[in-house]
Amino acid sequence: MTVASFGGGHQTDDFTNHAVHMFEVPRIGITHNKEPQDLTHIETAHGAGGKVMQRLIEEVIIPSFGRRNVGPIGLDQMDDGATLDQDAHLVVCTDAHTVKPLFFPGGNLGTLTACGTINDLAVMGAEPFAMTNTVIV
């Protein structure tokens, strides 16, 4: 398995216990309180849905996209989904979760992800008719 790292080298994957080759990626400059900082690693807080994740999306991810809105709702609105045409007839969203264990009292990772995606569509007024599949490697 090969994944991105800011220093390159090798590590061991905690989940599979296999050796992982790390290829080097450039550092990304981000700002916080007007002071430049290097984003040297991603932490779990970056995916927890809070202020840290919001900042990562706004300052690192969104600027890398040239065209951010195809329809009336897109990246600029920072919603849980996006419309894919000007008439707002097609809404798409996807969700991904990582939890250990995969199965837990009262649910499992698949149900959690499906319910999260369907909820995101419902609050946008859409009726689900298809699902996207997100794979986290």
pLDDT tens column, 89-112? 778 887 777 777 777 788 787 788
Q: What are phi and psi of 80, to 5 degrees?
A: -80, -10
CATH number for the domain whose boundaries are 72-137: 3.30.1330.10
99: how many CB neighbours lie within 10 A of its CB?
A: 12
Residue 130 pLDDT > 50, yes or no?
yes
pLDDT digits (tens, 9 = 90+) for 35-70: 434 566 777 777 777 788 888 878 777 777 766 666
Q: Which part of the chain has CATH 3.30.1330.10?
A: 72-137
Give the global pTM. Answer: 0.49
Residue scoring higher pLDDT (79 or 105): 105
